[in-house]
Every structure is written in structure tokens, then in C-alpha cells.
Structure 1
């Protein structure tokens, strides 16, 4: 019986290690490119909203409640700083994943990647709270968008960014756990 417990523990440990196993250079580039593409697409959508386009909603109020479950102004004053932040984050994650620049840029881009992971994790945790009914009603578009889109995207891409940021750079450009 003791052997079975040790086997189960070992199996759990192996599974846990696999979640954060060292990434080779190709896997790191792919993960980083995917996270950077998501951030860049988000920046682009925010830039489009600065023009007054309310896609995918019919009006600004619908857009605000569908995305944020609150009445928030979708003005250039609010959206342009978000565009800049998202674009900078995308560039930082991409630079880290592709080992661009010297040691200082690599350190900075790793911090950006870790910050992206942290931000996505916080948003994912908030999303879980909203899914649990804290501060949201199940009969709103926000609830269902949050349940089916926003929270799963934040969980998946937050994990990807965390896994990328957790790796140390080897001289060859591979990411070691």
C-alpha cells in the first residue's frame, strides 16, 4: 500500500513538473508569439474603438456593459493609453520569446512578460468571481461573454505567459524551467 501511495505521489509530481517543464526555443517562440498576437489584436480593437466604431455592440453603452459590466466611457482619452500599454506588452512578450536585444532588453522584456502573466491571472480570477455570481447577473451578455470567452482566454494565455516568464534564458536561446 505504501508503494501505491509513493507511485501516486510520483505520478502527481511528474504531472506537476510537466505543467512547467522547460521549454525548448521553438516552443518558447510559439507561446510568446501567440500571447503577443493576442495582445496586439486587443490593442488593434481598442484603437478601432477610438474612432467611434462600437463593434461588436450596437452602441457605446452596449459595448461598455458587454465588455465591462459597467458604464465606462469609450473615448480616446481612455482607450489610447490602453492601446499603448497593450502594444508595449505585445512587443515585450515577443522580444522575450524571440530572445531579441541585449541583456538589459531581455531582463526588461522578461519583466513585461511576467507582468502580462500577472495581469491575465488577476483578470481570470476576477472572471471566476463574476461567473460565481459576484457582481454579475446570469441574464446579461457580459456574464456569458465572461464565462465562455474572457475568462478561458485569460486562463490559457495567462498560463502561457507565466510559463514563458518562468523560464531562464540559456545561451542557445532555449528556455530552461
Structure 2
């Protein structure tokens, strides 16, 4: 399996998420009719879509994407490994939570969040969980074979 492709695809998903948050930072709420509706569809609870909330997410998602891509190509050193590990852990938790919500625990099956979680969020998080663990494992394997000067 080509880890650079896995890293690129995972990075693209993270950057797409960052772009969506950047778009919402402009005050637009498409595809929802307003911030309340958007927040409930994306998170299943209300959160303000303000600069203070969205800007750090855009930065975090962008850094995560860069680290996963770098790690998948054997670059970035320990910092890329550390950030990729954090992405792997975070997507693992989100995928597990998504499975719980799919079973109807804590999420009403008639809401947009339930269906977005079922068809989009959880499958993407499950993919990113597997891909980042693979990238991380290969990154650690590479790090062991490289001897310090």
C-alpha cells in the first residue's frame, strides 16, 4: 500500500474540512439556512460560528493535513509523527463516537446530523483512522531504520 497516496488523500479530506470552516468564517452558512441549523447539522448541538471558534479549527486542520502528508512521505521528523499520531487518535475517537450515534444513542435518527453522520462523517473518520495509523506505523518504521549521524 502506498503511504504517500494514503497521506495525500487523508490530507485532502482534512484540507476540505478546513476550507469548509474557512467558508463558514465568512458568515455564509450554506448548505444550511443559518448558523443554528448549520451547528445542529454538523455537531448536533449549538456552537457559535465565530472567528474565535472557526479560525483555530482552520489552523488545526491545515497543520494536521500538512503533518500527515509529510509523515506519509518520510518527512517532518518527530513533529510530523507526533501530529499524525494525534490525528490518528482523534479520528479513532470520532469514528467510535459516530458508530455509537449510528446506533441511535445520543442522536435522533430524524435529524440531518444523524444522516450526515451515517453517510459522511463516520465513514470519512473511519477511513482516516485506518489511513493515519498505517502512515504512522510506516513513519515509525522509517524512523527506526534511519540512524542518527
Q: When the two structures are superposed, what TM-score results if normalisation uses the length of structure 1?
A: 0.77
- Describe the superposition over 1:71-126 as per-residue Cα deviations: whole angstroms up to 9, x where unpaired: 111111100000111111011111111223xxxx3111011111111111100011
Structure 1: gaps (5+ residues): 1-22
Distance in 1 of aligned mates of 2:19 and 2:145:
33
Match of 1:57 in 2: 32
SS in 1 for 2:91: helix
Question: Does 1:82 pair with 2:57?
Answer: yes
* Residue 29 (1) aligns with residue 4 (2): yes
Alignment partners' CA distance in 2, 1:139 and 1:29:
39
Give the alignment partner of residue 86 of structure 2, picking from 104, 115, 118. Answer: 115
Match of 2:142 among 150, 163, 169: 169
Matches within 5 A, 1:1-177: 23=1, 27-100=2-75, 105-167=76-138, 168-169=141-142
Distance (whole Å) between structure 1 residues aligned to residue 74 and residue 137 of structure 2? 14
Q: Give the TM-score of the pair, scaled to structure 2.
A: 0.91
- What secondary structure, in the 3-state scheme, does the structure 1 residue paired with 2:104 have? coil
Q: Extract structure 1 runs of 4+ deviating beyond 2 A.
A: 170-173
Structure 2 residue runs of 5 or longer lacking an equivalent are none
Q: Could you report, residue by residue, the CA deviation over 1:7-31 in whole angstroms, capped at 9, with x for unpaired residues?
A: xxxxxxxxxxxxxxxx5xxx01101
Aligned pair count reads 144
For the pair shown, which has the larger CA radius of gyration, 1 or 2?
A: 1
Cα displacement (A) at 1:172: 9.0
